[in-house]
DNA sequence: TGAATGATCACG
DNA sequence: GTGATCATTCAT
């Protein structure tokens, strides 16, 4: 299991380092394990794409809290988004999990798995992650959602950097390349 | 390209 | 209170 200290770093570092790690969801007796292949960093209060850019509010207060806490919010009236808070207490930053890649499955095709896990709102639906996870630690197993380390080191050449999705309103921050993907994954949400 | 669909935020 | 907006997805 990945420990709290892992998250006590800049969001950009954590976002890259999470690639290749595994998101584990335990529902009843069943365990779903999926490799993280796409993340975005929301780096601090100055980042105009971040919920924290206009100060602390009821919704984003988790981002100001301890590293490794789960930040789940509801958007577009339809979707939940899964984030992990990074950096020291009091500094609002987080990493959005945008896509995960489950192990091959005998019942579902790759195309069907993509529809379930390739996209920030899709994966929360597939893994039954909702607001009840908000402000819970990801560095403990008891809530049924935690992370495991990658199996092998990810070489920098296997990581691709791109602009973040859906942040056109963010002025000069919309063009920051703070989205990170595993190059060889078929499960990236957007090219 | 636009609808779905409701919490959140700024304003006053 | 009200109205605009939204770290998206899906169907047209």
**CB of residue A59 closer than 7 A to nucleic acid strand C?**
no
pLDDT one-digit tens code per residue, A111-126 = 999 999 999 999 999 9
Spatial CB neighbours of A191, under 8 Å, sequence gap ≥ 6: none
Question: What pTM does this model have?
Answer: 0.97
Q: How far is the CA of A9 from the C1' of B1 (A)?
A: 40
**Amino acid A153: pLDDT:** 97
End-to-end CA distance of chain A: 30
- CB-strand contact A120/C, under 7 Å: yes
Contact A130, A80 (CB under 8 A): yes
Asked if the Cβ of residue A93 lies within 7 A of any atom of strand C, the reply is no
Q: Per 3-state DSSP, what percentage of chain A is helix, strand, and coil (rounded to 5)?
A: 25, 30, 45
Quick one: tokens of A14?
Answer: 């954590």
Mean pLDDT of chain A: 97
Q: CA of A110 vs C1' of B3, distance in Å?
A: 28
Residue A169, CB, strand B, below 7 Å: no
What number of residues does chain A have? 191
Report d(CA A129, CA A80) in Å as an integer: 7
Show the tokens assigned to A21. Answer: 């790690």
Instruction: For residue A30, name the pLDDT band (cuts at 50, 70, 90).
Output: very high
């Amino acid at each position: 299991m990945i420990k709290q200290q892992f998250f006590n770093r800049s969001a950009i570092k954590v976002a890259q380092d999470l690639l290749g790690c595994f998101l584990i969801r335990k529902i009843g007796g069943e365990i779903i394990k999926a490799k993280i292949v796409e993340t975005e960093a929301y780096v601090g209060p100055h980042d105009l794409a971040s919920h924290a850019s206009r100060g602390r509010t009821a919704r984003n207060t988790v981002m100001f809290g301890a590293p490794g806490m789960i930040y789940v919010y509801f958007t577009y009236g339809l979707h939940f988004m899964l984030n992990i808070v990074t950096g020291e207490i009091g500094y609002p930053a987080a990493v959005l999990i945008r896509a995960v890649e489950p192990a091959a499955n005998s019942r579902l095709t790759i195309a069907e798995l993509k529809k379930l896990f390739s996209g920030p709102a899709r994966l929360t639906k597939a893994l039954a992650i909702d607001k009840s996870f908000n402000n819970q630690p990801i560095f403990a197993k008891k809530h049924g959602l935690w992370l495991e380390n990658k199996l092998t080191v990810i070489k920098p050449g296997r990581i691709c950097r791109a602009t973040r999705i859906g942040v056109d309103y963010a002025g000069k921050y919309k063009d920051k390349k703070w989205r990170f993907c595993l190059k060889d994954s078929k499960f990236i949400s957007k090219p």
